[in-house]
Amino acid sequence: MAIKINGTTVIDDSRVLSNLTVDGTNDPGFKNVPTNSNSNAYTCVLTDAGKCLLHPSADTTARIFTIPSNASVAYPLGTVLTFVNQNAAGTMTISINTDVMRLGGAGTTGSRTLLANGLATAIKVGSTEWLITGTGLS
């Protein structure tokens, strides 16, 4: 169905979403959180935006997951990265290169430790600033 204003088509049929329902049975977007599992030190990439970065329980070694600097990977404002350190996995350190990562509530900056069974979410709130919060995070 095209959208018209005063008889002029402003959005043609090729740009109108269809088959969407109020109950969400045909809504667009993810129906789950895509997961990127890593058993090595890992530096996040642009395609990790909106994903769960998993340190699996099969890897009992402590690992460092790094959020790269804005100069290296320019994530858009509002980008979310979720970190999960699965049961029995070694400690996960969430680090940041040269930008700032603040702990939610406390406001302190620097790398963070995520214990086993921990879950943390980082959101980009400024061009070089992230806010991180979660359970099992210090």
pLDDT of residue 89: 86
Residue 79: closest CA among 137, 128, 6: 128
pLDDT of residue 105: 92
Give the N- to C-terminal CA distance of the chain in Å, as an integer: 52
Q: Which residues contact 43 (CB under 8 A, 6 or more apart)?
A: 65, 66, 68
- Look up the pTM and report it: 0.79
Six token digits for residue 114: 């995520």
pLDDT of residue 32: 83
Six token digits for residue 106: 């406390």
Helix (H) or strand (E) holding 67: strand 63-67
How far, in Å, CA of 90 to CA of 14, rounded?
50
Mean pLDDT by 10 residues, the chain (138 residues): 64 54 58 90 97 96 97 97 94 96 95 97 97 97
pLDDT of residue 18: 55
pLDDT of residue 21: 54
pLDDT of residue 73: 97
How far, in Å, CA of 90 to CA of 55, rounded?
8
pLDDT of residue 17: 52
Per this entry, what is the length of the chain? 138
